[in-house]
A and B are shown apart, each in its own frame.
Chain A
């Protein structure tokens, strides 16, 4: 029998390097990065000891990019090239953002997602968001003194597939390995739940700068189970600023883009001051030197924005209904997002639930803190055995059928990861191809839902109408991202399909953006690919060696162990070289060789998890 090793309390038996992982809250108004250091989650500060990075990106004609406070402070100088609230454009087309009213930007309606024409060239929302993420990444690496192994990036729970994919693409473009996309209200619940050791059913009301989420969660013994989520991905604090600004503008008459931005900045300032003051007087300096006096009382502000507050309560009712709960079942209400500081929002939510909302954690920071805790676990610094997140997809996924109707394949609020298959058949005799249109949303008509992807299944053997069986499988992963596959089952013909996204960016487009970001494009792209493959190789070898050490002797034959060791040796042989493709090949080879091993280890874990209960069953008989 082997001797048991006993480590010092708080120290692991196999001390390995602490992996640097962070939580990133990519917000409409402000963005933050946080990390767990010495066991405590904390927001990482920038050079000026500030926690919040304003999500404002300014482009200059020479290609220079300024992100953050300086860009926000001077936004009225050059509104066309100073992009604010870019999160509202993620995964959205020109038609979607028309509702935000007159914008100072020059927009291009590229397929799937809008583009902005700036003095530094045409930019997609993904690239603009990546600029914010690059700053946060640099800030984190400096604060933590090393390269990040990855980050948990938060997204509004109500973000659809296109918006989630765009966020992940932005992180990739910023050179960040995304450990997980985490829903913002769930992140907040982690921070709250662990902080207050809460148990019960909670509503997280998250009103940010540009998005609104409501999530109903059950917390018990470290399990965070989302029962239902709802929201409005175009409702936020920005809309309250706009309501004030548009009232002032109607009095001031026609303004140019700069003055429009000045009025909006003042509106935001007045809104924030009204949280503590009963009335605010201010002055806006217009570009031609005039000064305009503005005034707003708290009661006027509340009357002006009451409709927005009410708009947030409809999703709350829907989420409760989906969770099959009533307000009486809710043990606590957590307020998240800077916009929940507004007293009339607090009051409306308190009145609705008949409870005083909890806001003892900073509503601006709580999402990043929760993401940091999750990142620390996912990076492998803590086993995380005491915590389990069970999240859901916010919107139903379906396929277009005859007559422009939607056939739902996965319903909203399904716990992820989830897969569901649906069978379809041919409409005409001898039909050999079928067009599939994947949509997301709750409405019956395709035209009212969001189009996610279109693809064609080809090579169906000719049969009479209705004889073919086309099995379409939807798989949603733990990030809430969808992949679709299809095959014809009667003939066994496995037709390969490529999902061509009608949104977002293809791999090629990302590669082109990466290139454009470097001066000596070709060489740097190759170097970056090499660096990425080396990191990936090290990560994989480490994971496989840990698995071999734990279970190699018990689960593998001597031959199988030797095969895996030889695949590891192949990786070692090429990793020092400069050919990133060779490293990739060796990585893929090692991955394939370990597939059976991974499946057996999982079986072992499953058996171990179920053993306790089976014994209990035997005892109870």
Chain B
């Protein structure tokens, strides 16, 4: 395989591996890359060109998606450092976060059973607030303190929040239809 395909996601867009990222530059880099490799550019090309173009465009989409979302970006940065976030296997959480988890789950369940859209919205707002706080401490752990195990723990917490957020979204959707 060629060298460019072995670049990491950051290098692909000409960026330095970092959690702090210039969103505008990422987007500009993505668009320039897609403009060069997108299958629409090769619709009149040979089958080989079409195939290579699809692989590259797929790769560009994957890299962009990963770097655009902060949690995915953190997970990816950690993987570059050889740290597995163990989101499926490691369920150990500090006691205070476990308490919060249970509280939120109960609140979500109650609101869903009562078909209370306002309560679901409120909970969703609480989770977003919590998410912002966790993202700030994630940035701190990755960039300033270089505490990678701590960063992995925060990613696991954010993963829990995202899952609960999805469930609330589904519940709201069910109420609407």
Contact = CB atoms under 8 A, between A and B. Distances in A.
Interface string A536-564: 00011001100100000000000000000
Contacts of A610: 12-14, 29, 32-33
A602 B173 contact: no
B54 A602 contact: no
A388 B31 contact: yes
Interface residues of A, number: 54
Contacts of B12: 610
Interface in B163-177: 169, 172-173, 176-177
A543 B2 contact: no
Interface in B55-84: 56-58, 61-62, 64-65
Nearest to B46: A543
Given A318-B173, A613-B25, A602 B37 contact: yes
A378 B36 contact: no
A477 B61 CA distance: 12
Contacts of B51: 595, 598
Interface in A415-429: 415-419
Contacts of A378: 40, 43-44
Contacts of B35: 385, 388, 609
B54 A477 contact: yes
Contact of A605 (B14, B36, B54, B169): B36
B38 interface: yes
B65 A419 contact: no
Given A318-B173, A591-B48, A598-B51, A417 B61 contact: yes
Given A418-B58, A609-B35, A389 B40 contact: yes
A179 B44 CA distance: 8
A417 B58 contact: yes
Interface of A: 19, 179-180, 223, 314, 317-318, 321, 374, 377-380, 384-385, 388-390, 414-419, 475, 477-478, 539-540, 543-544, 547, 590-592, 594-595, 597-603, 605-610, 612-614, 617
A543 B177 CA distance: 51
A418 B58 CA distance: 5
Given A419-B62, A600-B2, A609-B35, A543 B49 contact: yes
A570 to B, nearest CB: 15
B38 A617 contact: no
Nearest to A614: B14
19 contacts: A19-B44, A314-B177, A378-B44, A388-B31, A414-B61, A417-B61, A418-B61, A418-B62, A478-B40, A478-B54, A539-B44, A598-B45, A601-B49, A603-B2, A609-B37, A610-B14, A610-B32, A613-B25, A613-B29
